[in-house]
Structure 1
């Protein structure tokens, strides 16, 4: 039975959506597609696996408690894991901050509430990105896994005559992020299938332990 941390008033803050226990692990099947109609091949797909493991606690430059995230990569399940990079995260009282390649993002806020919004780039110098919850505490099934309580966070969802940008994450209580999709595409005439250039990246959970 999952134990949800609550504040002094007995409100479930949703902290279980991103566990901090050292050794907590999630493995993803990753697919990257690079599009450029001026190249051969015009649409190039690569597939690999990423394993993220919560590491030790430390104090960051602001004096806040943070955890390292060790990220390993392999081509397939028959290959050995190789350390790719080390990220970090702060699970603060009201928000989750993740530092990726020295850039800090606000990926999630507490308490998760439908349509609550925030600036994902509020802690870095990049252009503002308005994030919000599309669903909160809903069941979700992926790759034969059935999760009782998940929340979907939308970071971008924009289509124009020549642009198609989609970015969202799905978090599950007790696990962390179980799916991520990021599309940044140049299209033609509002047709999201007529792709000229850009990238698509998707992460889907295939294993986890806590």
Structure 2
């Protein structure tokens, strides 16, 4: 009887040790990397971009090239109307004839494993986490625009832009619709610890006979420099 009781206690102690060991391993297990740093939010971060924009006008058959810079500054953190932590971003513009001047206000936040941005009074879903080649989502889920099925087409790819050597970038096709008379292509690239580094837009009407561009615009915004304090 005594031997049986000791065996029972030994079994209980052994089971308890296994349970404690499992809990300890779970507690100390490394958390999965959700790659939130593809959309960093930090006060005082500054990203400067070079922008080339080409506008085609079939009214006077002209092609006009605009070149300028944009500067995004994360100026503060606050609670938004829904009670979530959000960041205020001020965008400035610089041209060949005018120094930096305020252009617009942008707000960004991370919520429920998605990165959101409010731009020109519309909320967009820029990224979802963890990002992968299988990641797809509706970028216009929270605005009144048509459904745009965003898709990640490359991830964790090194990229050099000018003097900026970026260890890991991901590419997003936001929209891609091409036919004989129209091209709409919207692409974005994000880098870890930097955020948006490239934005490309092609929105043009074409002559169905010649394929020549009749009207519309092309736009490329590319990282020039970035800094954080």
Q: What is the TM-score when the length of structure 2 is the normalising length?
A: 0.82
Shift of 1:97: 0.5
Give the distance between the partners of 1:109 and 1:91, measured in 2 at CA.
9
Q: 1:3 maps to which residue?
A: none
Give the distance between the partners of 2:46 and 2:115, measured in 1 at CA.
17
Shift of 1:83: 1.1
Give the distance between the partners of 2:54 and 2:200, measured in 1 at CA.
12
Which of 78, 85, 103 is equivalent to 1:65?
85
Q: CA RMSD in A?
A: 1.7
Q: How many residues align?
A: 200
Runs of at least 4 residues off by over 6 Å: none
Q: 2:75 maps to which residue?
A: 55
**Does structure 1 retain, via aligned residues, the 8 Å contact 2:53–2:65?**
yes
Alpha carbons of structure 1 residues 163 and 55: separation in structure 2 relative to 1, 3 Å: same
Q: 1:92 maps to which residue?
A: 111
Please tell me whether residue 123 in structure 1 is matched to residue 148 in structure 2.
no
Give the distance between the partners of 1:190 and 1:150, measured in 2 at CA.
39
Structure 2: segments with no counterpart, 5+ residues: 1-28
**Does structure 1 retain, via aligned residues, the 8 Å contact 2:164–2:225?**
no
Alpha carbons of structure 1 residues 94 and 190: separation in structure 2 relative to 1, 3 Å: farther
Q: 2:49 maps to which residue?
A: 28
Q: 2:13 maps to which residue?
A: none
Alpha carbons of structure 1 residues 71 and 189: separation in structure 2 relative to 1, 3 Å: same
Which has more radius of gyration?
2
Shift of 1:115: 3.1
Q: Give secondary structure in 1 for the equivalent of 2:42.
A: coil
Shift of 1:32: 1.5
Q: 1:198 maps to which residue?
A: 216
Structure 1: segments with no counterpart, 5+ residues: 1-7
Structure with more strand by fraction: 1
User: Which deviates more from structure 2 when the two are superposed, residues 29-38 or residues 63-72?
Assistant: 29-38
Q: 1:165 maps to which residue?
A: 184
Give the distance between the partners of 1:176 and 1:190, measured in 2 at CA.
41
Shift of 1:118: 0.2
Q: Give secondary structure in 2 for the equivalent of 1:16.
A: helix
Q: 1:182 maps to which residue?
A: 201
Q: 2:152 maps to which residue?
A: 133
Give the distance between the partners of 2:75 and 2:209, measured in 1 at CA.
44
Q: What is the TM-score when the length of structure 1 is the normalising length?
A: 0.90
Give the distance between the partners of 1:80 and 1:32, measured in 2 at CA.
19
Structure with more helix by fraction: 2
**Does structure 2 retain, via aligned residues, the 8 Å contact 1:160–1:190?**
no
Alpha carbons of structure 1 residues 145 and 191: separation in structure 2 relative to 1, 3 Å: farther
Shift of 1:9: 5.8
